[in-house]
Structure 1
Amino acid sequence: MVNIFRRPRHENREDDEHEDDHEQQRLPDERTRLLPRQNTPYLSPDDPAVSPYNLWSVRALRGVTSTFLAISLVWWTFLLVSLFVSAPALHTRGSGFFSFAYTTLIVMYLLFGLMFFAVPSKPIAICGFVLALFLFIDMCITVAVPRIRVEEGWVGIATVVWANIIAIYNIIQNQCVAWGKREEEERLTGREETRRSLAEWLAVFAETLFMVIIAIISILFMATLILRARDATLKTPGEKYYVSARNYQVHLDCVGNSTGDKETPTVLLEAGEGPVEDTLQPFIDELHQKGAIGRYCYWDRPGMAWSDNAPSPFSAGMAADGLSEALALARENGPWVLVSAGIGGIYSRIFASRHLLEVEGIFLIDTLHEDYLSDVASPSRGFALWIRGILSPLGIDRILGAIFKGRTREDRVYGRSAYQTGKYIRARLQENLVAGSMTSSEIQAARHVQMADTPLTVVSSGNKVRKSAKWATRQEDLTALTKNLSHWDIVKGAPHEVWKTTEGRRVLEKRLREMVLGE
């Protein structure tokens, strides 16, 4: 027979009390009960006390996430301000929209992670892994492609690396919170809860939808970077020169033999609203091939084609100074006949006022009058450009153009799709920000300084003159920039880009021959 010894009930109670006293005296750790269960039954799974926040490690993790969000918000603010006023340490030779877009993505990711912190799920984990993969590819492209690495600088590289760190951290966070949730359910309810309440299902759905959107955005970022890497392989004609204390590079190319004949001026082109390679340069090159002009030079204003973006604010006068520096570095001394179209007339006139003895002629092709700078500086226009810039890293228009319209590297760098790039949009935004202030003052000063005997030719669009009396009046006012007006031609039926019609080309060639060759 087996004797069974059973302790009296009062001894059991004494042991339990000793165990509870020991539990209270023990240093707190991960297993310390925040809700002592002294002979209390298991809690309901829906009880608010059943929460991963009961664990110190989970609460600490939430604090780390909040800290990361605060750091990212501070960085986001600095990048936002630098789009309008560049801090010396934050200026990049790219558009600046790249870093801002990635930081915005990080902030959104962390914010939603905090909102749904206590509701981990497998779809979130899968989407997190996908996002981390694409961000890693983005980082590799940014660092590996020299042109992108130089344009984005340390700011862009640091931002995309930070995005990768946050993506990996969020994966760890999701796994840790899921573990903590299981631990507390088993401790307080006796088992891991497999069902979800309606509120939890809605939270999982919302977070999964958000993560899918984030993943799609990261895919678009990656595709845009791939196109940029492809465009970086396009050979640059001419040379690029560091200007403005080596803050950025501008592209300059001179075509034709330099004979050293100071009696034959070199034509210096200034583009209008788009890159010069897609507007004036092909027409001028055709005239060069025909012998109408002996030598010409063209450049890309900062943000256009192969030139870097300049720090903000950036006025037309600053652009003229950058061109002057590039010409000096290229050992190009003129004399010059300045040929410009559209808003390029503003830039050429300021350049002419700063090189009075080197400029032998000003040739304006339906150029913008300074009275229209208020339209360029319109707040609504500036806001639209800013929105376009913010969306430009997605590259939807460039991706669709490459896939369905056969857009090439040339189209994106300086051709018909160049207006879609972040660099171009940033340049137009900079133009907008100072058109009514700095640039307006500079063009007024240029008008007062300009030598009265400088030869001047004005060719205007017949279509624009016919449609707008204001445009016609302002074109006439341009003919009074100097007292040596050679010709004012209004080309009937010609659009703003006068050289696109046969009659426009004939008139331009004739007047340019007269000014350059004296024919």
Structure 2
Amino acid sequence: MTTLWGSKKTDDNNDDAASTEGPEMPRNSGEDSRREPTERDRLLPESNNRRHGRSDGYLDPDDPAVSPYNLWTVRFARGLTVLFLAISFIWWVLLFVSIFVSPPGLHTRGSGFTDFAFTTLTTGILLLSLLFFSAPSTAMRACLAVISILLLVDLILIVAFSRLRHEEGPPGMASVAWSTLMAAYCVGTDRLVTWGKHEEEERLTGRPETKRSLKEWLAVLVATLFLVIYIVIVVLITGTLILRARDSTLKMGGKRYLVDGNKYAVHLNCIGEAKPDANGNRQPTILLEAGEEPLEYDFEHWAYSAWQNGTIDRYCYWDRPGYAFSDAAPSPHSAGMCADNLAEALARKGEEGPWIVVSAGYGSLVSRVFSARHFTQVEGIMMVDPLHEDLLHRVGSPTRGFLIWAQGIISPLGIQRLGGALFKGRTREDRVYGRNAYQNGKLIKAKLQENLVAESLTKSEISNARTIQKLDTPLVIVSSGIETRKSDQWEKKQRDLTKVTDTLLSWDVVNKAPHMLWDTYDGRKVMEKRLGQLVKAAMKNRGKMSEEE
């Protein structure tokens, strides 16, 4: 037994001696065995090397112990990445919620979709970095560097243009700054892991590994493909921001007025001057309310023609929150809130009325609430193919809401807007209030807000407005012949709207006119004629009231 143990000890000593032949692997002395191990010490016993066919004291390159995670710096960087991902995810959730219900301090005067897009991109970059943390590559660093440079350009654009800065606000600027920082940080961590990988390979295998396994190449390929997609996304966002910066230089008539505790501003403009008649009475000012599109596109042109023809002396128009030149409002936002915004903007401008409210489509809901709440100032109501409150389920449909939300989520990419500008010659006017205004993130958010509260807040407000509406107010209804023939329900509800007041002057159904009647000559002709009659009726009523007094 003594001989056997003695022989084994001799063999072990010989093995120890052999192990010292490898570079930087000295035989452990008694003093070394008593000290605390460090990250530079061998992880596995030398007997493990022999099992893997190595007799030089080094590990096989495929050994699981050969990992950059052995270095505390790499482990710390990975933990920091996890922390940054958690922070980004929390911010992502807050921005997601703010699209539907705006928490205090998170409301932006823009759509809210752009900062959400930047935060989604940040979360994707950090998640990709974690998934492929131990497989660094030059391709990944190059892609991340391109992304960080493009994001820096986006940040400069937002800060440099006052309108973009105004719309995005602190949440938007913080989101793009954080995204830029995280992209640059991921470049650094990828480089750190590359260094750590080489360090550990040199320490444990004798040399840095220059070859990759098939699994590693697949990881690099997948990560690079995702980053290329991210680059395309950032390029599209940058192009959209450039278009928005150009659109912000478009001149507007009138001014923006702060409303709702100075949280956001709405655009209001007035044309003409009300002239007194022989009795010293001035015509009421026509107050226009848009339908489903920005009012400047077509509806205001019809009013301008009526003003030029002398049918009316003066008219005012505004953009509801999110439309054309107005800021977006916090969510939720209803038709009644829009009516209050209009009243506040008129007061800030110094307008006192009296008014004849002229509205179309969804805007008729806003004008009805406004006329009911300000019945002493409203002397006439004209509604063009108006939306009935019993049909609000069409606006508030969950399917429609989801599609609007999905359109908003991809709106920062601006695929349609960029394509229109590059290949179809679309102008700033087209994008702000014209044919392509529906692609604008602010307008999409306004549509989503209309959808979210259509069958709750808005329906309740319209019901209350109908109860308190002044019944002797002259009323004119002009309906689309196409829409009434298409739907018996639409025709029935148009008939019901003629009973909003007890003083119906006329109800016209224009035979070949679509929902937007002002797009046809017959529609414009009937609308202008009835508006002139409504103005005369309002003046006549005012004269009677003066005589009675």
Following superposition, the deviation at residue 22 of structure 1 comes to 4.2
Match of 2:165 among 144, 149, 157: 149
Q: Which residue of 2 aligns with 1:333?
A: 352
Matches within 5 A, 1:96-107: 96-107=112-123
Matches within 5 A, 1:48-87: 48-87=64-103
RMSD: 1.9
**Mapped contact 2:274–2:283 kept (Cα < 8 A):** no
Secondary structure, aligned partner of 2:296: helix
Residues 507, 45 of structure 1: CA spacing in aligned structure 2 closer, same or farther, 3 A cutoff?
Answer: same
The sequence identity of aligned pairs, in percent, is 55
Secondary structure, aligned partner of 1:275: coil
Separation (CA, whole Å) in 1 of partners of 2:181 and 2:405: 28
Match of 1:251 among 251, 260, 267: 267
Separation (CA, whole Å) in 1 of partners of 2:511 and 2:481: 4
Separation (CA, whole Å) in 2 of partners of 1:109 and 1:258: 60
Separation (CA, whole Å) in 2 of partners of 1:18 and 1:420: 72
Separation (CA, whole Å) in 1 of partners of 2:120 and 2:312: 51
Residues 129, 271 of structure 1: CA spacing in aligned structure 2 closer, same or farther, 3 A cutoff?
Answer: same
Q: Which residue identity lines up with residue 347 of structure 1 in the other structure?
A: V
**Mapped contact 2:274–2:284 kept (Cα < 8 A):** no
Q: Which residue identity lines up with residue 382 of structure 1 in the other structure?
A: G
Match of 1:319 among 324, 338, 350: 338
Match of 1:47 among 40, 63, 66: 63
Separation (CA, whole Å) in 2 of partners of 1:387 and 1:182: 45
Separation (CA, whole Å) in 2 of partners of 1:287 and 1:128: 58
Residues 69, 485 of structure 1: CA spacing in aligned structure 2 closer, same or farther, 3 A cutoff?
Answer: same
Separation (CA, whole Å) in 1 of partners of 2:75 and 2:437: 49
Does residue 501 of structure 1 match 2:520? yes
**Mapped contact 2:420–2:426 kept (Cα < 8 A):** yes
Separation (CA, whole Å) in 2 of partners of 1:28 and 1:279: 79
Q: Which residue of 1 aligns with 2:7?
A: none
Does residue 224 of structure 1 match 2:240? yes
Runs of at least 5 residues in structure 1 that lack an aligned partner in the other structure: 1-8
Following superposition, the deviation at residue 445 of structure 1 comes to 0.5
Following superposition, the deviation at residue 195 of structure 1 comes to 1.5
- TM-score (normalizing by structure 1): 0.95
Number of residue pairs aligned between Structure 1 and Structure 2 = 510
Q: Which residue of 2 aligns with 1:426?
A: 445
> Runs of 4+ in structure 1 displaced over 6 angstroms?
15-18
| 1:229-252 per-position Cα deviation (integer Å, ceiling 9, x unaligned) | 000111121010000000100000
Following superposition, the deviation at residue 39 of structure 1 comes to 9.6
Match of 1:31 among 33, 40, 43: 40
Secondary structure, aligned partner of 2:479: strand
Separation (CA, whole Å) in 1 of partners of 2:364 and 2:98: 28
Secondary structure, aligned partner of 2:332: coil
Q: Which residue identity lines up with residue 446 of structure 1 in the other structure?
A: A
Secondary structure, aligned partner of 1:233: coil
Following superposition, the deviation at residue 29 of structure 1 comes to 4.9
Residues 386, 39 of structure 1: CA spacing in aligned structure 2 closer, same or farther, 3 A cutoff?
Answer: closer
Q: Which residue of 1 aligns with 2:376?
A: 357
Q: Which residue of 2 aligns with 1:5?
A: none
Residues 44, 353 of structure 1: CA spacing in aligned structure 2 closer, same or farther, 3 A cutoff?
Answer: same
Q: Which residue identity lines up with residue 158 of structure 1 in the other structure?
A: A
- Between 1:189-198 and 1:461-470, the stretch displaced more is 189-198
- Between 1:262-271 and 1:452-461, the stretch displaced more is 262-271
Following superposition, the deviation at residue 263 of structure 1 comes to 3.8
Following superposition, the deviation at residue 189 of structure 1 comes to 1.4
Does residue 300 of structure 1 match 2:319? yes
Q: Which residue of 2 aligns with 1:109?
A: 125
Matches within 5 A, 1:476-515: 476-515=495-534
Matches within 5 A, 1:410-421: 410-421=429-440
Secondary structure, aligned partner of 2:207: coil
Separation (CA, whole Å) in 2 of partners of 1:395 and 1:262: 51
**Mapped contact 2:40–2:203 kept (Cα < 8 A):** no
Separation (CA, whole Å) in 2 of partners of 1:216 and 1:394: 9
Separation (CA, whole Å) in 2 of partners of 1:249 and 1:203: 50
Separation (CA, whole Å) in 2 of partners of 1:427 and 1:511: 31
Following superposition, the deviation at residue 20 of structure 1 comes to 4.7
